[in-house]
Structure 1
Amino acid sequence: MKHFLALLTARNIELIRDKATWVWNFVFPVVLIVGIAAIFDDKETALFKVGVVGEASPQIAAFKTTQYLQFIHYPELDKALAKLQHHQLDMVVQGGSEDGYWINDSAAQGYLLEKILLAGDQATTWKKQVVSGRQVRYLDWVLPGILAINIMHSSLFGVGFTIVRYRKNGVLKRLKASPVNAFEFLSAQVVSRLAMLMLAIVLQFVAMHALFDFLVQGAFALLVLIAVLGSVTLISLGLLMASRTSSEELALGILNLLTLPMILLSGVWFSLEGAPALLQNLTLIFPLTHMLQAARAVMIDGAGLSDIAPALLTLSAMTLLFLTSAALRFRWVED
């Protein structure tokens, strides 16, 4: 325990002295959110999204021939109505024994889509129903993605790149000659980075929530749990990358190879709902995907612990795999 505390203290002092790290982890995400708020003012867009539930019918088939509408199929009506309630869909239509449609009474898109729908030949067979709810702004939706990017970069570059630098500069070689073992060293790196990340994420969320009043339907404690588990998973992935790598150029290439697909395909900036099933299944190999799905489920849908349990279990399994592999592969000096 003394070895662990000594390593943890040394690493924390190093982080405190690194002013650039604090600026990047604390200030940059806030600046990014403010910039997005200035650019995206949540005005209505020209693209309408329609949720489709149930069996296809002649009325729905005719409606789907309308141009400039995006149709997304949902297996359950409740899920589609929850999206409509938060303005993530503009209309929901249901087929079956009796065709019906839902609109949000506070959304301009729903009003226009209703006019388009009722202009068809089968207008008299539609049954109208209405839901109400607070709009989910793009800011509400993108916030978890921005915080997750900060966690990802801080975990992979802050831990993985640092260990590679230690190995190249001979720091690990000196530590090998001390009574410190690999488990103590890696544990100190994980705990130090995790503590800094949680402090940064909590302060960022509180500050931005005070400025923009983000929609949070679920429990804040679950968001903290997701952040902690996601951070540990990504830190573990950084340790795995750095377990043997001794070249900073190679480490940079590997880190870019890991981060770029996650930024593009994990749903950070745009939703993959409605994308091909193959692509959606492919993104499940990324820890960031499970973090974002769980965080948005809690914030936007008010999900509970049982609802996000599959994502948390997946992150736990990934953490165990990454840490075990990193411990088995770890080398103090270059091969």
Structure 2
Amino acid sequence: MRKFWALFTARNMEFYRDRAALSWAFIFPLLIIVGCALVFSKPDQTLIRLGLLGEAQSYNDLAIAQQNYTDITEYSARERALEQIAHHQIDLLVSRENDGLRYWVNPESSPGLAAQQLLRALDGDKALHEEQLTGQAVRYVDWVMPGVLAMNMMFASLFGIGYVIVRYRQNGVLKRFQATPVSALQFIVAQVASRLMIVVVVNGLIFVGCDYFLNLLMLGDYSLLLLIALAGALSLLSLGLVIASRTASEELAGGLLNTLTWPMMFFSEIWFSLENAPGWIQSMANVMPLTHVVKAARAVMIEGAGFAAIAHHLLALLITTLLCLLLAARLFRWQRE
């Protein structure tokens, strides 16, 4: 245990003394959040965001759905669609039923009321039945915050552990460790534990600071958010270990890590939803651990989801962690080949 604590403390001191890396870990995500809050502070009022329960083809006679300024989202689950209405994420929800068309609107949403008037003007000849739902509006900064924190976690985890171990191997530090009583398992666990603590603490401080300045929406349990952060960081750290386990060049490590991070940045729903994306893109995104971190955190923060609702995301992160750790242990080498 003393060997583990010695390695753990040494890695923490190394990170703390690198003032550039320490400062950037805090400044970069804050700049992104502030920039997004400024750019997207004014809501888009040029489109009618219309939700349809079922396939859009079954609403060919609905005039409002045929307008070129109407953005349509199909929903198969009514509960999910009603949440979108309550949180102002769509303006109007329409369902075809036996007695005509039933629609839901949030009376606290100005675009929703405008969409309701347009529906009555264009489709007033049909049997329309109104339902109302209320709820707190979800701003873009509320929606994007889980993704920004997860992105910061991804970079801090992958590059934090990947580059360090590769640099140790390139500089001969790992070769010296091999001559000590320290085992490969002790070394890897100490590196993961150190980086895990840094990633979770830094992201926690960023979250607290942004919540203070931006008054973020938080409907769920903070302990669940912490559990997601721990599971997500562990899965990303284990993924970084696979890259670092045998790579001897920092240039190669950088290329491999960028190959991992860029697809996750675009397809893990950090900046935009893939709800209307083709099925194969959604399937590809669900293979990425960052997708499960973002979806789970977003469900807790803006939907108030409980443990049962995010259990499948946590299971996916746990499986990723175990598989990557086993692969990293299998591939790990102390010296350059």
TM-score by length of structure 1 reads 0.96
What are structure 2's unaligned runs of at least 5 residues?
Answer: none
Counterpart-to-counterpart distance in 2, 1:187 and 1:57: 56
Counterpart-to-counterpart distance in 2, 1:167 and 1:58: 62
Query: Deviation per CA, 1:253-289, whole angstroms, max 9, x where unpaired?
Result: 1011000000011111111111111111110111100
Counterpart-to-counterpart distance in 2, 1:129 and 1:60: 21
Counterpart-to-counterpart distance in 2, 1:263 and 1:60: 39
Contact 2:63–2:123 (8 Å) recurs in 1: no
The letter of the residue matching 1:172 is: L
- The aligned counterpart of 2:292 is 290
- The aligned counterpart of 2:183 is 181
Contact 2:219–2:301 (8 Å) recurs in 1: yes
- The aligned counterpart of 2:319 is 317
Structure 1 residues 26-35 or 171-180, which shifts more? 26-35
Q: CA deviation at 1:35?
A: 2.0
What are structure 1's unaligned runs of at least 5 residues?
Answer: none
Counterpart-to-counterpart distance in 1, 2:216 and 2:230: 20
Does residue 192 (structure 1) correspond to residue 194 (structure 2)? The answer is yes
Counterpart-to-counterpart distance in 2, 1:49 and 1:109: 9
Q: CA deviation at 1:119?
A: 2.3
Counterpart-to-counterpart distance in 2, 1:237 and 1:50: 39
- The aligned counterpart of 2:49 is 49
Counterpart-to-counterpart distance in 2, 1:9 and 1:41: 43
- The aligned counterpart of 1:19 is 19
Query: Deviation per CA, 1:141-170, whole angstroms, max 9, x where unpaired?
Result: 011111111110011111001111111111
Does residue 128 (structure 1) correspond to residue 130 (structure 2)? The answer is yes
Q: CA deviation at 1:123?
A: 3.3
- The aligned counterpart of 1:333 is 335
Counterpart-to-counterpart distance in 1, 2:66 and 2:236: 44
The letter of the residue matching 1:250 is: L
Contact 2:59–2:65 (8 Å) recurs in 1: no
Q: CA deviation at 1:37?
A: 1.6
Query: Deviation per CA, 1:20-70, whole angstroms, max 9, x where unpaired?
Result: 121111222223212222222133332322111147655754442221212
- The aligned counterpart of 2:173 is 171
Taking a change above 3 Å as real, the CA distance of residues 154 and 58 of structure 1, as seen in their structure-2 partners, is closer
Q: CA deviation at 1:10?
A: 1.0
Counterpart-to-counterpart distance in 2, 1:45 and 1:172: 58
Aligned positions, number: 335
2:217 to 204, 215, 218: 215
Counterpart-to-counterpart distance in 1, 2:96 and 2:106: 19
Structure 1 residues 74-83 or 168-177, which shifts more? 74-83
Q: CA deviation at 1:122?
A: 5.0
Query: SS at 2:66's partner residue?
Result: coil
Structure 1 residues 49-58 or 34-43, which shifts more? 49-58
Contact 1:51–1:74 (8 Å) recurs in 2: yes
Q: CA deviation at 1:139?
A: 0.4
- The aligned counterpart of 1:148 is 150
Counterpart-to-counterpart distance in 1, 2:147 and 2:33: 11
- The aligned counterpart of 2:206 is 204
Contact 2:221–2:300 (8 Å) recurs in 1: yes
Counterpart-to-counterpart distance in 2, 1:315 and 1:58: 39
Taking a change above 3 Å as real, the CA distance of residues 62 and 326 of structure 1, as seen in their structure-2 partners, is same
Structure 1 residues 49-58 or 22-31, which shifts more? 49-58
Contact 1:54–1:96 (8 Å) recurs in 2: no
Counterpart-to-counterpart distance in 2, 1:187 and 1:194: 10
Query: SS at 1:129's partner residue?
Result: strand
Does residue 230 (structure 1) correspond to residue 232 (structure 2)? The answer is yes
TM-score by length of structure 2 reads 0.96
Structure 1 residues 116-125 or 263-272, which shifts more? 116-125
% identity of equivalent residues: 45
Structure 1 residues 322-331 or 75-84, which shifts more? 75-84
Does residue 35 (structure 1) correspond to residue 35 (structure 2)? The answer is yes
Counterpart-to-counterpart distance in 1, 2:137 and 2:240: 37
Structure 1 residues 104-113 or 155-164, which shifts more? 104-113
- The aligned counterpart of 1:93 is 94
* Greater than 3 Å deviation, 4+ residue runs: 54-63, 121-124
Counterpart-to-counterpart distance in 1, 2:58 and 2:124: 11
Contact 2:50–2:65 (8 Å) recurs in 1: no
Q: CA deviation at 1:130?
A: 1.4
Taking a change above 3 Å as real, the CA distance of residues 57 and 174 of structure 1, as seen in their structure-2 partners, is closer
Structure 1 residues 92-101 or 182-191, which shifts more? 92-101
